[in-house]
Amino acid sequence: MVDEEQRAAIKAKFQARDEHIRESWVRAMEARLVREELEKCQRSEGVNAFENCKWLSEKLLDKLSDAKVRCGLRVACFYALRCAGWRDYVLLGLLTSFILFLFRLLAFQLRLVIFFLSF
């Protein structure tokens, strides 16, 4: 049985993880807001956007360095990748597909082992 100390330790661990996830989502959303402001600035400035919106792009790069959400396999830094471009979407999709393929292959092999062990 799990005693009170272990239960409290597990609860504290889950609370710390949830707090970390919450803080990382806040950082990711801050990066998203900066990206939206940069897009507005680029639309309004036109050809002078590189000079006039430079401070926003530097701020976005600073935000992206720590705007990663690490709470699971498929959720990793989704909103931070939106800021980087479509290539990262493709890479994230390929990585996710490959990981799912590996899990399915492993499950199939386990089913084969169980099947042959049943004889």
pLDDT at site 68: 65
Per-residue model confidence (pLDDT) at position 119: 64
The pLDDT of residue 47 is 84
Instruction: List, for residues 49-105, the tens digit of each pLDDT value.
Output: 888 888 888 888 888 777 665 544 444 444 444 445 555 556 666 777 778 788 788
Evaluate whether 59 touches 34 at the Cβ level (below 8 Å).
yes
pLDDT number for residue 108: 79
Question: pLDDT by residue (tens digit) across 1-51?
Answer: 568 888 888 888 888 888 888 888 888 888 889 889 988 988 998 888 888
Task: State how far the Cα of 58 lies from the Cα of 13, in Å rounded to an integer.
Answer: 35
**Separation of alpha carbons 112 and 64, rounded Å:** 44
The whole-number pLDDT of residue 50 equals: 83
